[in-house]
Chains A and B, each alone.
Chain A
């Protein structure tokens, strides 16, 4: 152990790592893997990312690695990297995902397309830069800096890298449930998703769930001449549009009572009262009149439910013809917070449609390309680990981090809270306008550098002996 090892020295190491271009180089190498988990043909890339990129990096840091094959046919593997220093030390489970959503190659307008990173001012473009390759690259580099500074971590580290997050994390639940001992820890600290504002360090304590489903109005086979039959044959488009219009009102407020969470609690209102959602320069403009009336934007996304039609198709949109289509289809999603009766989402929808006379609207399992549902979960604001992480970040940043009780996006948090029984704390390194599920995904260089500092400080502190005691 170097006699001058210090917190400041660790932070200085990650800053050098960033400033000399190594961070961007590592990220570029990782982005180049086309790890699209929603495409079956991406499977070999998912394996290659683990074998050629993750395992060598962890082994170089003195981690042992183990691969868990996915019990679901055609889905990517899981990697658990572990560095065990001493039984008396606290064990931290970290997390990242090496898969990305589809490249959408032909839709990029910035940078060099999805698979080649490109720097443009403060931005680094590329698929996975934000979600999530950039984020686990930051955390791994921060741990490496502690190792280099202190010659050991000072805590036991486990890091889970999954390769199917964007495809609904298929198999993750089974693998963790079947190997609880392997993944056991004292606390979960992972990184994914956006900060509340690019320049404001953020701690996230849970996530909304996501329930995907399809609606289908299938009235007859084939299409029929709209002149000869218009007025005689029911229109699947009119029926589906009307059915959707009963689910939310014209301003997006949910109309199915069973789909609503309990009123926003006072402690959550307090935590969110100063949080403004800042979309950034290129982010979408927030529509203040949209969604549930009476809630602030932060409450709408961090403490309330929202419904969206992710995709819809009637007839042949590329070449419309003058015919009454035989069917209409929509792929929908409810994002919901803790407190919503998850098991009742689909039954309540069926009841609602029946009540409004939409017996022709079928509720079906979601489109095979987007089957993944997420369950909502949340760690209490006052949990000792929650406070400890916030204090460490404040120490580095010089200001209190924002706290999101439940982030809008879904991160599979319940697997750590409910199956492993861990307090789960997320420290996100992206920002809202990063286009993470769209073309032109990017991270901000300045935020990445700042995140490296925070994580280096946090991992340093984890090894400093002043962590919360075991329950």
Chain B
């Protein structure tokens, strides 16, 4: 009985082509159309939990509970607990069973987003990377430990939510109202991509995300651009000038209060000189973009980024010679914990007002794109981070990178603030996985390596050398 046996057990499940193998199980999960941005999928969210998660975890001896979402039409939160001994530490594993829209018809080679398609080392399907494939790997790892050792050797909680891609509505409320149910000693989960395809890493935090619309709405209706051009304040000109006061054409943020201050040295040091690599299919990184004096990794991990997600003026499909009455930009700030989310819009209001842009209004973003994730971060010198890094390095027999904070946003901030535990992610996907686009896929060698690593980590948690807070 050893770690390598447990890892071999997990990999055998991964390599198994039969009905009980990893990919047969993943295919069943991908087949449930759990789009959380589609209000008609409530039934699918419950099916995912009741028909798939509960049987899988009850089989392992977990005690399961489903929390209905306090928000109308939003999917439930699922919790499974396996408490072996109150004196042992408890690990919380998180996953989300919802996915972004299927985008049927937009996939290459007309692939069905709701079925797995194998192409060499790539396995396509909605949710393969984000996040069904990753939380399934944790279930397989835990199962392998139980089978190899007969017990975990620690306590385990597994939480699955069904609304991550829609802003995790209700998740904070459910956690807040049931803190004892969800509390644990450390958080260990997988989501998102590795920073560098060639090396495993843990991620100790996430940027928060606030979406908002900027609107210049000056009058009703368009007016002939010849007869009125020069006489009417142009929404397009006002809004583009306001945007240019927020960010330079080189990506430098000009709103002083949006520029993070006092990033701890330990965080910056942990980033080291790690460079980002998207893999051969990823987009080319713009080295001349972003905050000057920062590396690419720093720009994503410890700095804020502003984006114009979408913008419309006039009728782009059929432009006419008229001064448009309105210009609207759907904007986003991804931000680190040093920038408080509640300060973001008040700071911008003052910034715009001071520059004469009081005619630019704020507006709630469209319902389906109201991302309000708070940021979260565990310090790289926290004992949990230290233990996990060494465990991954022992298991993988190689270096484990540390991303003090991932660029994306998720429930990290909510878990940190509601449950107050240290957290770490071990991502198994890679940057070019198209996770929010057509052609979402996982890369087999990465998933296999990721499964081996987390199985090894779980094994060590049950040993003498396990993390003991």
CB–CB A438/B322 < 8 A = yes
Q: Does B183 contact A (CB under 8 A)?
A: no
Q: Does B350 contact A (CB under 8 A)?
A: no
For A369, what are the chain B residues with a Cβ–Cβ distance below 8 Å?
317-319
Q: Does A54 contact B (CB under 8 A)?
A: no
> How does the 8 Å CB contact mask read for B353-391 relative to A, with 1 for contact and 0 for none?
000110000000110110100000000000000000000
Q: Does A354 contact B (CB under 8 A)?
A: no
Other-chain residue from B230, B251, B334, B357 in contact with A227 (beta carbon distance below 8 A): B334
User: With A and B bound together, what is the CA distance between A437 and B437 in angstroms?
Assistant: 38
Q: Does B312 contact A (CB under 8 A)?
A: yes
CB–CB B226/A239 < 8 A = no
- How many residues of chain B have a CB within 8 Å of chain A? 88
For B356, what are the chain A residues with a Cβ–Cβ distance below 8 Å?
250
Q: Does A65 contact B (CB under 8 A)?
A: no
CB–CB B366/A319 < 8 A = yes
Give the distance to chain A from B122, nearest Cβ to Cβ, in Å.
Answer: 17
CB–CB A225/B435 < 8 A = yes
- Interface segment among B18-26, B70-78, B140-148, B279-287: the answer is B279-287
For A193, what are the chain B residues with a Cβ–Cβ distance below 8 Å?
227
Given A226-B334, A317-B328, also A301-B230 (CB < 8 A):
yes
CB–CB B309/A231 < 8 A = no
Given A234-B289, A312-B236, A320-B330, also A437-B305 (CB < 8 A):
no
CB–CB B320/A102 < 8 A = yes
CB–CB B310/A317 < 8 A = yes
For B310, what are the chain A residues with a Cβ–Cβ distance below 8 Å?
314-317, 320, 325
Q: Does A322 contact B (CB under 8 A)?
A: yes
Given A238-B243, A284-B223, also A310-B319 (CB < 8 A):
yes
- Interface segment among B5-13, B58-66, B169-177, B405-413: the answer is B405-413
Q: Does B247 contact A (CB under 8 A)?
A: yes
Q: Does A324 contact B (CB under 8 A)?
A: yes
CB–CB A313/B312 < 8 A = yes
CB–CB B309/A313 < 8 A = no
Q: Does B80 contact A (CB under 8 A)?
A: no
In the complex, which of the residues A230, A240, A313, A328 has the most CB atoms of chain B within 10 Å of its own CB atom? A230
CB–CB B225/A229 < 8 A = no
Q: Does A386 contact B (CB under 8 A)?
A: no
For B422, what are the chain A residues with a Cβ–Cβ distance below 8 Å?
none
CB–CB B299/A231 < 8 A = yes
User: With A and B bound together, what is the CA distance between A285 and B359 in angstroms?
Assistant: 15
User: With A and B bound together, what is the CA distance between A436 and B222 in angstroms?
Assistant: 9
Q: Does A159 contact B (CB under 8 A)?
A: no
Give the distance to chain B from A90, nearest Cβ to Cβ, in Å.
Answer: 30
User: With A and B bound together, what is the CA distance between A285 and B228 in angstroms?
Assistant: 10
Chain B residues 187 to 238 lying within 8 A of chain A, measured CB to CB, are 192-193, 206-207, 209, 211, 219, 221-234, 236-238
Q: Does A345 contact B (CB under 8 A)?
A: no
Q: Does A220 contact B (CB under 8 A)?
A: yes
CB–CB A306/B309 < 8 A = no
Chain A residues 104 to 160 lying within 8 A of chain B, measured CB to CB, are none
Other-chain residue from A230, A245, A437 in contact with B307 (beta carbon distance below 8 A): A230
Q: Does B120 contact A (CB under 8 A)?
A: no
Closest to B317 in A: A369
For A325, what are the chain B residues with a Cβ–Cβ distance below 8 Å?
308-310
> How does the 8 Å CB contact mask read for A55-68 relative to B, with 1 for contact and 0 for none?
00000000000000
CB–CB A242/B249 < 8 A = yes
For A358, what are the chain B residues with a Cβ–Cβ distance below 8 Å?
249
For A312, what are the chain B residues with a Cβ–Cβ distance below 8 Å?
236, 311-314, 316, 327
Closest to A245 in B: B244
Q: Does A465 contact B (CB under 8 A)?
A: no
> How does the 8 Å CB contact mask read for A287-325 relative to B, with 1 for contact and 0 for none?
100111000010011001111111111111101111111
Q: Does B300 contact A (CB under 8 A)?
A: yes
CB–CB B299/A228 < 8 A = no
For B448, what are the chain A residues with a Cβ–Cβ distance below 8 Å?
none
Q: Does A264 contact B (CB under 8 A)?
A: no
User: With A and B bound together, what is the CA distance between A231 and B290 in angstroms?
Assistant: 5
> How does the 8 Å CB contact mask read for A233-262 relative to B, with 1 for contact and 0 for none?
111011111111100111010000000000
User: With A and B bound together, what is the CA distance between A210 and B206 in angstroms?
Assistant: 50
- Interface segment among A3-11, A19-27, A45-53, A405-413: the answer is A405-413
For B228, what are the chain A residues with a Cβ–Cβ distance below 8 Å?
284, 301, 408, 432
CB–CB A410/B231 < 8 A = no
For B206, what are the chain A residues with a Cβ–Cβ distance below 8 Å?
227
CB–CB B407/A230 < 8 A = yes
User: With A and B bound together, what is the CA distance between A436 and B308 in angstroms?
Assistant: 33
- Interface segment among A79-87, A91-99, A183-191, A329-337: the answer is A329-337
CB–CB B232/A290 < 8 A = yes
CB–CB A291/B230 < 8 A = yes
CB–CB A234/B286 < 8 A = yes
Q: Does B276 contact A (CB under 8 A)?
A: yes
Q: Does B436 contact A (CB under 8 A)?
A: yes
User: With A and B bound together, what is the CA distance between A182 and B215 in angstroms?
Assistant: 52
CB–CB A237/B329 < 8 A = yes
For B305, what are the chain A residues with a Cβ–Cβ distance below 8 Å?
226, 230-231
For A101, what are the chain B residues with a Cβ–Cβ distance below 8 Å?
320
> How does the 8 Å CB contact mask read for B241-270 relative to A, with 1 for contact and 0 for none?
101100111010000000000000000000
User: With A and B bound together, what is the CA distance between A432 and B371 in angstroms?
Assistant: 44
For A350, what are the chain B residues with a Cβ–Cβ distance below 8 Å?
none
CB–CB B227/A432 < 8 A = yes
CB–CB A241/B243 < 8 A = yes
Q: Does A440 contact B (CB under 8 A)?
A: yes
CB–CB A232/B285 < 8 A = yes
For A440, what are the chain B residues with a Cβ–Cβ distance below 8 Å?
221
User: With A and B bound together, what is the CA distance between A316 and B219 in angstroms?
Assistant: 24
For A339, what are the chain B residues with a Cβ–Cβ distance below 8 Å?
none
> How does the 8 Å CB contact mask read for B326-350 relative to A, with 1 for contact and 0 for none?
0111101010000000000000000
User: With A and B bound together, what is the CA distance between A244 and B243 in angstroms?
Assistant: 10
Closest to B286 in A: A234
Q: Does A13 contact B (CB under 8 A)?
A: no
User: With A and B bound together, what is the CA distance between A329 and B134 in angstroms?
Assistant: 37
For B327, what are the chain A residues with a Cβ–Cβ distance below 8 Å?
309, 312
Q: Does A194 contact B (CB under 8 A)?
A: yes
Other-chain residue from B238, B243, B309 in contact with A322 (beta carbon distance below 8 A): B309
CB–CB A231/B300 < 8 A = yes
Other-chain residue from A252, A284, A323, A366 in contact with B309 (beta carbon distance below 8 A): A323
Other-chain residue from A235, A305, A321 in contact with B436 (beta carbon distance below 8 A): A321
Q: Does A206 contact B (CB under 8 A)?
A: no
Closest to A326 in B: B283
For B303, what are the chain A residues with a Cβ–Cβ distance below 8 Å?
231
CB–CB A439/B369 < 8 A = no
Other-chain residue from A231, A244, A277, A439 in contact with B231 (beta carbon distance below 8 A): A277
CB–CB B319/A311 < 8 A = yes
User: With A and B bound together, what is the CA distance between A359 and B40 in angstroms?
Assistant: 46
In the complex, which of the residues B232, B248, B328 has the most CB atoms of chain A within 10 Å of its own CB atom? B232
Other-chain residue from B211, B224, B308, B408 in contact with A235 (beta carbon distance below 8 A): B308
Q: Does A362 contact B (CB under 8 A)?
A: no
CB–CB B324/A250 < 8 A = no
Q: Does A384 contact B (CB under 8 A)?
A: no
CB–CB A244/B247 < 8 A = no
For B237, what are the chain A residues with a Cβ–Cβ distance below 8 Å?
244-245, 248, 250, 252, 307-309
Give the distance to chain A from B456, nearest Cβ to Cβ, in Å.
Answer: 26
Q: Does B431 contact A (CB under 8 A)?
A: yes
Excluding A328-B311, A440-B221, 13 further A-B contacts by CB distance (< 8 Å) are A193-B227, A210-B321, A238-B247, A238-B307, A248-B237, A286-B232, A309-B240, A314-B311, A315-B309, A320-B309, A321-B309, A325-B310, A335-B225
Supply 5 A–B pairs (Cβ within 8 Å), ascending by A. A231-B251, A231-B290, A233-B289, A310-B314, A324-B307
- Chain B positions near chain A (C-beta within 8 angstroms): 100, 192-193, 206-207, 209, 211, 219, 221-234, 236-241, 243-244, 247-249, 251, 276, 283-286, 288-291, 296, 299-300, 303, 305-324, 327-330, 332, 334, 356-357, 365-366, 368-369, 371, 406-409, 431, 435-437
Top-6 shortest CB links A-B? A237-B308, A409-B226, A227-B408, A231-B299, A230-B305, A315-B310
